[in-house]
């Protein structure tokens, strides 16, 4: 008797959908050739797509991109040594490949094919602060509800290469795709939105990140709002109701024909915060929110006022796509901090363990203030802040670095390690600092780089019960400091 005959009748009657007939391989040679207009060297199948030979895994398609300073064709042998199944190239090679005229154009074409061959609901996320965390939370909610059929951009693959690469990696079986978009200059968001063509576009917040290149918050809002230009007809725009740029963002969204889902504390917010009760230990918050005629109560594992706002953006997005709000609440309650973006570590200190909060990946005035506020709410015997210089502030740099004195004082910081030349204005201001809760002005050290900052912390001496915030722009390299103290623990 066959296995099928032995199966339970309900198992045999399990409903089938068109997605079930799709091949499990991500790309075949014929599909790549058809999408890119290239010529395949033979028959093969690929399980993933990669552009960095160091990250290639067995079965990947390696795209040999050419940039101003680097040519991926130099690393083809390394890619195949790591297990690549094939490559997209602009010259014949001895390995399985698809030959094209331009590998960057081919990656864009592959992304377009991935976008159109499936039925995934696509979500694009941008914003001055919080876009990676919000992207991860939306993915977690949709992945839970769809039982593993959600896709997302990994790490911070959010630029002119990372976005099409992330789209090209999306399986035709995916029900949802969540993509992050970043920018440094005007004119960068719209092409990214065109790669994704989202059903929903999310703007987390508007803050003076990259103000050096754009000149004003209004210009930043206008550029971020270009994400709406890629929206599918009838798409949804998720925007922060509490932002000073709300009306500006709303106008852009409505001009694109989007349905607006605003979130925040404001009375006009469609997803409105009714109450938020932070945990006594500085941990998870209990949030109550109103969405149209639905009231929700859920917990947010990530601490801080900024994550309460982030959670409202997540709920607005899930509501807009008709997703499972209960699954979203569970996902928010279970999320842990990301490396460089809020991960918490218990590290070795004199007499026991200390808490190290890793925010080393990025920093701007808004996120600096938010994380210092959270440090002040974190129970600790002493509070230490290792702050790296903020980048891309241009002529505003002095003013924004000086302004960090206020949140340092409000965060009850006992010792501050200021890293980088751009911190010099704050160093001068620190001498005027008021006394903290212990009756002393915060002590501080000014360091050129991560090595000096490590030495300064070692000399200061970390004790059990201390809380140490590490926050700075990625270029400062404070991730090395985090790795130093975490690895020795």
Alpha-carbon torsion 346, 348, 353, 358, what sign? negative
Q: What is the pLDDT of residue 438?
A: 46
Contacts of 34 (CB under 8 A, 6+ apart): 113
Check if the beta carbon of residue 478 is closer than 8 Å to that of residue 472.
yes
The pLDDT, as a whole number, for residue 21 is 57
Structure tokens at 416: 């501050």
Give the pairing of strands 97-99 and 39-40.
Answer: antiparallel
Q: Of 254, 251, 272, 252, which is closest to residue 262 (Cα–Cα)? A: 272
Output the six-digit token pair for 355: 């808490």
DSSP string of 383-400, one letter each residue: EEEEEEPPPS-GGGHHHH
pLDDT tens for the chain, residues 1 to 489? 554 555 566 545 656 655 555 556 899 999 999 999 999 999 999 999 999 999 999 999 999 999 888 899 999 999 999 999 999 999 999 999 999 999 999 999 999 999 999 999 999 999 998 899 999 999 999 999 999 999 999 877 899 999 999 999 999 999 999 999 998 889 999 999 999 999 999 999 998 877 877 889 999 999 999 999 999 999 999 999 999 999 999 999 999 999 999 999 999 999 999 999 887 666 678 999 999 999 999 999 988 888 999 999 999 999 999 999 999 999 999 987 778 888 889 999 999 999 999 999 888 898 899 899 989 989 999 999 999 999 888 888 999 999 999 999 999 999 999 999 999 999 998 876 554 444 466 799 999 999 999 999 999 999 999 999 999 998 999 999 999 999 987
CA–CA dist 379, 419 (Å, integer) = 25
Q: Give the number of residues written for the chain.
A: 489
Domains and CATH numbers, the chain: 23-108 (3.40.1390.10), 118-334 (3.40.1190.10), 343-487 (3.90.190.20)
Task: Kindly write down the DSSP assignment for every residue of 34-66, as one continuous string.
Answer: HHHT-EESS--EESEEES-GGG--TTEEEE--B
- At 378, list the tokens: 């974190």
CA dist 12 and 1 (Å) reads 15
What is the pLDDT, as a whole number, of residue 81? Answer: 97
Query: Containing H/E element for 254?
Result: helix 246-255
Closest-CA residue to 244 (of 271, 270, 273, 216): 216
Closest CA to 102 of 65, 137, 138, 71: 65
Quote the pLDDT of residue 437: 47
Question: Can you give the pTM of this predicted structure?
Answer: 0.81
């Amino acid at each position: 008797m066959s296995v099928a005959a032995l199966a339970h009748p309900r198992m045999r009657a399990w409903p089938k959908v068109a997605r079930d007939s799709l091949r499990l391989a991500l790309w075949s040679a014929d599909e790549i050739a058809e999408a890119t207009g290239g010529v395949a060297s033979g028959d093969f199948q690929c399980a993933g797509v990669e552009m960095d030979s160091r990250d290639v895994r067995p079965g990947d398609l390696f795209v040999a991109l050419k940039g101003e300073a680097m040519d991926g064709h130099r690393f083809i042998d390394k890619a195949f040594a790591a297990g690549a199944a094939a490559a997209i190239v602009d010259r014949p090679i001895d390995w399985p490949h698809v030959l094209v005229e331009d590998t960057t154009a081919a990656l864009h074409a592959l992304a377009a094919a991935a976008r159109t061959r499936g039925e995934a609901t696509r979500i694009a996320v941008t914003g001055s602060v919080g876009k990676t965390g919000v992207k991860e939370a939306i993915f977690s909610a949709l992945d839970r509800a769809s039982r593993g059929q959600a896709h997302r951009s990994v790490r911070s693959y959010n630029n002119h290469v990372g976005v099409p690469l992330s789209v090209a990696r999306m399986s035709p079986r995916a029900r949802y795709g969540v993509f992050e978009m970043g920018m440094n200059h005007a004119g960068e968001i719209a092409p990214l939105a065109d790669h994704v063509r989202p059903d929903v576009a999310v703007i987390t917040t508007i803050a003076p990140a990259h103000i050096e290149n754009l000149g004003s918050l209004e210009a930043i809002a206008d550029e971020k709002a270009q994400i709406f230009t890629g929206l599918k007809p009838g798409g949804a725009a998720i925007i922060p109701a509490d932002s000073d740029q709300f009306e500006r963002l709303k106008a852009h969204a409505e001009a694109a024909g989007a349905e607006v889902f605003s979130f925040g504390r404001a009375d006009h917010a469609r997803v409105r915060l009714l109450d938020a009760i932070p945990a006594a230990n500085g941990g998870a918050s209990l949030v109550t929110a109103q969405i149209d005629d639905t009231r929700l109560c859920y917990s947010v594992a990530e601490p801080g006022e900024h994550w309460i706002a982030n959670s409202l953006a997540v709920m607005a997005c899930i509501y807009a796509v008709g997703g499972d709000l209960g699954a979203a609440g569970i996902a928010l309650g279970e999320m842990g901090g990301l490396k460089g973006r809020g991960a918490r570590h218990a590290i070795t200190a004199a007499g026991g363990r200390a808490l190290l909060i890793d925010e080393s990946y990025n920093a701007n005035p808004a996120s600096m203030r938010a994380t210092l506020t959270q440090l002040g709410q974190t129970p600790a015997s002493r509070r230490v802040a290792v702050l790296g210089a903020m980048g891309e502030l241009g002529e505003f740099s002095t003013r924004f670095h000086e302004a960090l004195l206020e949140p340092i004082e409000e965060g009850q910081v006992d010792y501050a390690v200021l890293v980088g030349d751009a911190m010099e204005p704050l160093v001068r201001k620190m001498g005027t600092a008021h006394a903290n809760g212990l009756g002393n002005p915060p002590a501080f050290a000014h360091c050129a780089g991560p090595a000096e900052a490590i030495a300064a912390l070692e000399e200061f001496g970390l004790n059990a019960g201390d809380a140490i915030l590490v926050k700075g722009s990625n270029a400062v390299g404070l991730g090395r400091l985090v790795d130093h103290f975490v690895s020795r623990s």
